[in-house]
């Protein structure tokens, strides 16, 4: 029988290198990863109490991951909160890496990443309205699963890669920025509430190989320039809407859109 450590965390500031593994902890108060501090969690469950928040400050690093690099083994971290106004924010000039883990809570914003240095892969998100908010430039989001009922992923800034994610009942929103790539994602079941892919005031955006079904608009571009390649839009109310936009659609499939 494996003994899992358990501890109640109170107000804490991480200023050096700290690493924890195989724990099931309760967190109360504000956890701050300060400039020069590094916090690594491996196979850790964090149940955040009503007064808990997590802030990675400029110059800090937070790494949330699993034991073996294999998402199928289920040994990643779980960050969980039922607090309505829970804050999990990565500030500009901080660094954040998450892999093979789960983020579950019921408030409006799941994870706010304002930093350029962020990589989020093979993780799952389940929250209220906006599960992942990205504002820094050059972030990568690879192979994640989103399951909210509003906006799964909202992006501002430039040169992000949003690739290979699965989204049910939500939308990928790219709001502004230039040079963003949205590729090989699957978006389903967002009709009649919303759309699959939305681009607002977004320039030089690439949407390639996405599969969008059962949404109101499969893709909506407003005041944007978007190249759409090899995408499939099916069973939507409308496949594609371009308003005040330049949309170059190449080798796309539109089926059963009413």
pLDDT tens sequence across 5-57: 677 888 899 999 999 999 988 888 899 999 999 999 999 998 888 788 899 99
Query: Are 105 and 153 members of one domain?
Result: no
User: Average pLDDT for residues 96-112, to the nearest whole number?
Assistant: 85
Would you say 33 and 56 are in contact if contact means Cβ atoms under 8 Å apart? yes
Query: Are 252 and 134 members of one domain?
Result: yes
User: Average pLDDT for residues 198-212, to the nearest whole number?
Assistant: 97
Per-residue model confidence (pLDDT) at position 128: 62
Per-residue model confidence (pLDDT) at position 192: 65
Would you say 217 and 193 are in contact if contact means Cβ atoms under 8 Å apart? no
Sign of CA dihedral 138, 165, 91, 32: negative
Query: Are 56 and 135 members of one domain?
Result: no
Is the residue at 38 inside a domain? yes
User: Average pLDDT for residues 235-242, to the nearest whole number?
Assistant: 92
Give percent above pLDDT 90 in the chain: 68
- How many domains are contained in the chain? 2
Q: Which residues pair with 20 in a beta bridge?
A: 41
Is the residue at 117 inside a domain? no
Query: Are 136 and 71 members of one domain?
Result: no
Say yes or no to pLDDT of 1 above 50.
no
Average of per-residue pLDDT values in the chain: 91
Reference 56, options 89, 18, 9; nearest CA is 89
pLDDT band at 244 (very low <50, low <70, confident <90, very high): very high
Query: Are 141 and 41 members of one domain?
Result: no
Is the residue at 116 inside a domain? no
Residue 15 Ramachandran class (φ > 0 left, ψ -120 to 50 alpha, else beta): alpha
Q: Fill in the DSSP letter of residue 3.
A: P
SS3 of residue 169 by DSSP: coil
Query: Are 103 and 147 members of one domain?
Result: no
Say yes or no to pLDDT of 106 above 70.
no
Query: Are 133 and 249 members of one domain?
Result: yes
Per-residue model confidence (pLDDT) at position 108: 65
User: Average pLDDT for residues 55-77, to the nearest whole number?
Assistant: 94
Boundary residue ending a domain (75, 110, 145): 110
User: Average pLDDT for residues 203-207, to the nearest whole number?
Assistant: 98
Is the residue at 115 inside a domain? no
Task: Identify the residue whose tokens are 């939500």.
Answer: 170
Say yes or no to pLDDT of 2 above 60.
no
Is the residue at 119 inside a domain? no
Task: Identify the residue whose tokens are 């390649």.
Answer: 229
156: tokens are 């501002």
Query: Are 158 and 226 members of one domain?
Result: yes
Write out the residue range of the structural domain in which residue 55 sits.
1-110
Query: Are 94 and 176 members of one domain?
Result: no
Is the residue at 243 inside a domain? yes
Boundary residue ending a domain (77, 110, 143): 110
pLDDT tens readout for residues 129-179: 678 999 999 999 999 999 876 778 899 999 999 999 999 888 899 999 999
Would you say 90 and 118 are in contact if contact means Cβ atoms under 8 Å apart? yes
pLDDT tens readout for residues 134-147: 999 999 999 999 98
Query: Are 103 and 133 members of one domain?
Result: no
b/e code 194-203 from CB counts within 10 Å (16+ = b): bbbbbbbbbb
Per-residue model confidence (pLDDT) at position 52: 83
Per-residue model confidence (pLDDT) at position 55: 96
Reference 90, options 68, 67, 119, 70; nearest CA is 119
Is the residue at 87 inside a domain? yes
User: Average pLDDT for residues 101-108, to the nearest whole number?
Assistant: 80
Give percent above pLDDT 70 in the chain: 93
Query: Are 79 and 147 members of one domain?
Result: no
Query: Are 199 and 238 members of one domain?
Result: yes
């Amino acid at each position: 029988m494996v003994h899992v450590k358990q501890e109640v965390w109170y107000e804490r500031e991480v200023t050096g290198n700290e690493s924890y593994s195989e724990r099931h902890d309760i967190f109360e108060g504000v956890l701050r990863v300060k400039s020069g501090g590094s916090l690594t969690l491996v196979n850790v469950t964090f149940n955040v109490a009503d007064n808990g928040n997590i802030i990675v400050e400029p110059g800090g690093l937070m790494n949330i991951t699993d034991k073996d690099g294999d998402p199928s083994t289920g040994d990643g971290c779980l960050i969980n909160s039922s607090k309505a106004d829970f804050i999990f924010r990565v500030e500009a000039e901080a660094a954040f890496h998450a892999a093979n883990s789960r983020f579950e809570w019921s408030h409006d914003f799941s994870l706010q990443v304002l930093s350029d240095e962020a990589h989020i892969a093979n993780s799952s998100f389940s929250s209220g309205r906006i599960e992942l908010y990205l504002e820094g430039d050059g972030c990568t989001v690879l192979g994640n699963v989103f399951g909210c009922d509003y906006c799964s992923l909202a992006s501002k800034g430039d040169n992000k890669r949003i690739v290979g994610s699965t989204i049910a009942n939500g939308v990928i929103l790219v709001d502004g920025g230039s040079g963003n790539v949205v590729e090989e994602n699957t978006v389903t079941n967002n009709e009649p509430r919303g759309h699959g892919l939305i681009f607002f005031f977004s320039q030089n955006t690439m949407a390639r190989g996405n599969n969008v079904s059962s949404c109101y608009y499969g893709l909506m571009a407003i005041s944007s320039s978007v190249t759409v390649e090899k995408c499939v839009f099916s069973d939507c109310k409308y496949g594609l809407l371009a308003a005040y936009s330049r949309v170059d659609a190449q080798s796309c499939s539109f089926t059963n859109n009413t």
